[in-house]
Amino acid sequence: MLRIPELIGSDYFVNTIDAKRVKYLNLDNAATTPTFKLILNKVTEFLETYGSIHRGSGQKSQVSTAIYEEAVPVILNFLGVTQKEYALIVTHNTTSSINKLTRMLDISEEDTIFLSEFEHSANDLPWRKKATVVRIPADENGLLDMEYFENALRKFKSKRKKFVAISGASNITGALTPIHEIAKLAHGYGAFVMVDAAQLVAHREINLRGSRATEEIDFICFSGHKMYAPFGGGVLVGRREYLERMIPDDFGGGNVDFVTNDSFDLAKDFFKRATAGTPNVLGIVSMALSCLILKEQIGFKTIFGHEQSILARAKEKFSKLSNVKTYCDLDYNAKNKCSILTFNIADMHPGLVAARLGHEFGIGVRQGAICQFSYVAKLLGIDQNEFQTIRADVLSGTYNQKFGIVRASFGLGNAEEDVDRLAEALCIIFKSPEKEKNYLLNSNGEFWPNGKQSLDAKEFYKI
């Protein structure tokens, strides 16, 4: 049995539509993970000494600054590198990290950006106005077409600059990307590589060096909220020789050494120079703590084994659900994917499936396009004409199209029995279509039980 530090909210109970009270089953870890109680305790300890970072000579300020700065080598060690090789920039989240990198890079429409077709919108939209985008398709299993990728690199070999921005793991299917093989190919054609590790970071060990120099990852970014650190915050990590040459995209207090009425001098220290204003101290500290827990206290070999047991149970259970269509299951092998199950029930709106799982069984999942509209359309076999019709309906406020998928994503707080509970619920849902009449579609495109279209959070703010 997997032994992990206690997760906050693991004993949370909810009321179902038929007035039962059941233990909540969180299967939306790919979006946001719960936090370790150990992190909350350490952050509470830190708050006793919480003060202004890099400001003032008070002891709280000095203690806070020291703890904040020590987070950097902890996170870099988690990635298998040192401060001599790589530098770190504190950001708001993964999306913020990618946007920041696109602003700091000296790229233009004359340059080429290679993206997979399964990129999250966060690793797609920021690049579009920066350079010419080349999309690398995935095969029928959801794996990157490496032959197509190499041919594309060869085709654009003469371009001024080439940049590969790739997800380490798909947030739709969980399919793992061979990031070091990609880096080796990219570097062979003079391209730089950035890995969006938001989905990968809590599932598999990352070593930015790879096994040889040509496999090094140039840049990587990820967020704390997907790795059991809930206080917001993300990081952009890159090879020091590259990041230190870039001009910061934000300016203000904290990243300058001196200011006059008509000039300013950026801080010589890179860590200060890259951060304007007061950073999200709790976010970076909690992320560093999570790095220690995941790598040293639990260990990624243990995490891999845990996910394989869940996927093996999923293979056993889902193969018996004849009315459930799965996407890119990759034979439920943890060597090829992390613990994400993507599926639909035949002839049923994915939003309705998710609503019924939530309100009848207390199971929380994600549904819809999940920030990948075109790729989901491909998985569903939707052609361009139908895709544009769906787009027009959505923009007009019509959400009755059965467009989307259901995603169940498992984390450290889950066990094999949770697969059983999900499979049983899906079986009941398919056999009881008459209960669909208990739900209505609200103006936000979400299914809710009749007479209950939202939640009132005013009570929370009564202090």
pLDDT above 70 (res 1):
no
Do 228 and 334 share a domain, yes or no? no
Q: Are 306 and 428 part of one and the same domain?
A: yes
Q: What is the pLDDT of residue 247?
A: 87
Residue 410 placed within a domain: yes
Model confidence band, residue 130 (pLDDT cutoffs 50, 70, 90): confident
Q: What is the pLDDT of residues 391-411, one digit of tens each?
A: 998 888 877 677 999 999 999
Rounded distance, CA 177 to CA 175, Å? 7
Please determine, for residue 108, whether its predicted confidence score (pLDDT) is greater than 90: no
Q: Are residues 234 and 290 in the same domain?
A: yes
pLDDT band at residue 418, thresholds of 50, 70 and 90? very high
Residue 7 falls within a domain, yes or no? no
Pairing of strands 234-239, 132-136: unpaired
Provide the pLDDT confidence category of residue 2 given band limits of 50, 70 and 90: confident
Pair (360, 219) in one structural domain = no
Tens digit of each residue's pLDDT (9 = 90 or more) over 186-217: 999 999 999 999 999 999 999 999 988 899 99
pLDDT confidence band for 129 (50 / 70 / 90): confident
pLDDT in tens, 331-355: 999 999 999 999 999 989 999 999 9
- 242: exposed, middle or buried (Cβ count in 10 Å: 0-12, 13-18, 19+): middle
Domain C-terminal end among 296, 329, 354: 296
Q: Are residues 288 and 350 in the same domain?
A: no
| Burial (0-12, 13-18, 19+ Cβ within 10 Å), 408 | buried
Mean pLDDT computed over 413-430: 97
Please tell me whether residues 447 and 325 are part of one structural domain: yes
Full-model pTM: 0.95
C-beta separation of 89 from 139 below 8 A: no
Cα-only R_g, the chain:
23
Query: For position 248, which CATH number holds?
Result: 3.40.640.10
Q: Are residues 242 and 305 in the same domain?
A: no
Instruction: Report the CATH number that the domain containing residue 338 is assigned in CATH.
Output: 3.90.1150.10
% the chain with pLDDT above 90: 78
Number of domain units in the chain: 2
Residue 5 domain-assigned?
no
pLDDT tens for 160-183 read: 889 999 999 999 999 999 999 999
Using the predicted structure, report yes or no on whether residue 357 has a pLDDT greater than 90.
Answer: yes
What is the predicted pLDDT for the residue at 442? 84
The last residue of one of the domains, among 267, 296, 325, is 296
Residue 239 belongs to some domain of the structure? yes
Distance of CA 260 to the CA centre of its chain: 41
Query: What is the domain range of residue 383?
Result: 13-30+299-461
Whether residue 31 has pLDDT greater than 70: yes
Q: In the listed set 296, 328, 349, which residue is the last one of a domain according to the structure?
A: 296
Shared domain check, 223 and 343: no
Better-predicted residue by pLDDT, 444 or 361? 361
Q: Are residues 289 and 306 in the same domain?
A: no
Per-residue pLDDT of 248-290, as tens digits, reads 888 888 888 899 999 999 988 888 888 888 889 999 999 999 9
- Domain contains 2: no
Residue 356, domain member (yes or no): yes
User: Are 331 and 210 members of one domain?
Assistant: no
Query: Are 83 and 135 part of one and the same domain?
Result: yes
Give the residue from 47, 50, 79, 78 showing the smallest Cα distance to 62. 50
Cα separation, 258 vs 179, in Å, equals: 41
Distances (CA, A) of 416 to 345, 407, 413: 21, 17, 11
- Asked if 177 and 93 sit in the same domain, the reply is yes
Is 4 a member of any domain?
Answer: no
How many CB atoms within 10 Å of residue 444?
A: 10
Is residue 1 domain-resident? no
SS (H, E, C) the chain: CCCCCCECCCCCEEECCCCCEEECEECECCCCCCCEHHHHHHHHHHHCCCCCCCCCCCHHHHHHHHHHHHHHHHHHHHCCCCCCCEEEEEECCHHHHHHHHHHHCCCCCCCEEEEECCCCHHHCHHHCCCCEEEEECECCCCCECHHHHHHHHHHCCCCCCEEEEEECECCCCCEECCHHHHHHHHHHCCEEEEEECCCCCCCCCCCCCCCCHHHCCCEEEEEHHHCCCCCCCEEEEEEHHHHCCCCCCCCCCCCEEEECCCCEEECCCHHHHCCCCCCCHHHHHHHHHHHHHHHHHHCHHHHHHHHHHHHHHHHHHHCCCCCEEECCCHHHCCCCECCEEEEEECCCCHHHHHHHHHHHHCEECEEECCCCHHHHHHHHCCCHHHHHHHHHHHHCCCCCCCCCEEEEECCCCCCHHHHHHHHHHHHHHHHCHHHHHHEEECCCCCEEECCCCCCCCHHHHCC
**Percentage of the residues of the chain whose pLDDT score is greater than 70:** 100
Whether 150 shows a pLDDT value over 80: the answer reads yes
